[in-house]
Amino acid sequence: MRKIYLALLLLAFNLSAQEVYASFFVKAIQDATLAFNAGGVIKKMDVDVSSRVKKGALLAELYNEDSRALLSLAKADVDKAEVTLKYAQRDYEREEKVKHLVDEARFDKFALAYESAKTSLQSAKANLTYREALYKKTALYAPFDGVIYEKNAEVGDVVTEMQPKSVFKIQSQERRKLILEFDQKYWSIVKVDQTFKYKIDGDVREYSGVISKIYPHVNEQNRKLIAEVEVKEFLVGLFGDGYILTDSKK
């Protein structure tokens, strides 16, 4: 009887502390393919494969002397429009003080000049914004802190806006995630914050992480559920397997 009791107790423990097998591969937390949003010839490239970059760093640039010149003209037009508005406003305010003494048509003339100057300044600023946007398209910047892991263009290459060409691929420097796959039958017992103990293929060491996300659907092709575990420093593309401890919580 004692043996039966112990067997039942052990069975109950195993059910409550079930370990769910999961295989995984390593992905970067952030990963992006970078391309110019404009056409032209690549003038310079400031980074290469394995370059570590900060968010906003200039990576590559097209020949853009024409865009730069048009941008300078747009800035000059704004300056000119601001001066014109300044004097038009001064004239209008001076005439407004004595409008009861002057001909109405004369006052309307200054009012019209003032409104036209305001409109011209708005138009000049809009054109400046447009020219700045076009100029920025001739440069490629890092969207986040990361490392360049693929380079697909060289100085002198032609790129087109209609068919953007991948120039660089960038990924987060250290932050990684394990993409876990496990059988759909465990959908009700695998939860966020449970511990995942695992080994990288070819590495005898055992690692431990915590489930941070469970995808809300089953893969229709292999009937697997997917979860994520955030980690650091592993090479992207590594794979391995392990067990989710369903009785554990962070």
Give the C-alpha separation, 159 to 164, whole Å.
7
Checking if the pLDDT of 98 tops 80, the result is: no
pLDDT at position 8 is: 45
**CA 188 to each of CA 2, 115, 119, 214, 225: distance values in angstroms, whole numbers, following the listed order:** 33, 68, 63, 11, 11
Checking if the pLDDT of 1 tops 70, the result is: no
pLDDT at position 169 is: 97
Using 50, 70 and 90 to split pLDDT, how confident is the model at 216? very high
Q: Could you count the other beta carbons within 10 Å of the beta carbon of residue 124? A: 21
Domains of the chain: 17-30+174-245 (2.40.30.170), 65-136 (1.10.287)
pLDDT at position 84 is: 95
Share of the chain above pLDDT 70, in %: 91
Query: Quick one: DSSP state of residue 185?
Result: G
HEC secondary structure over 111-180? HHHHHHHHHHHHHHHHHHHHHHHHHHCCEEECCCCEEEEEECCCCCCEECCCCCCEEEEEECCCEEEEEE
Checking if the pLDDT of 230 tops 60, the result is: yes
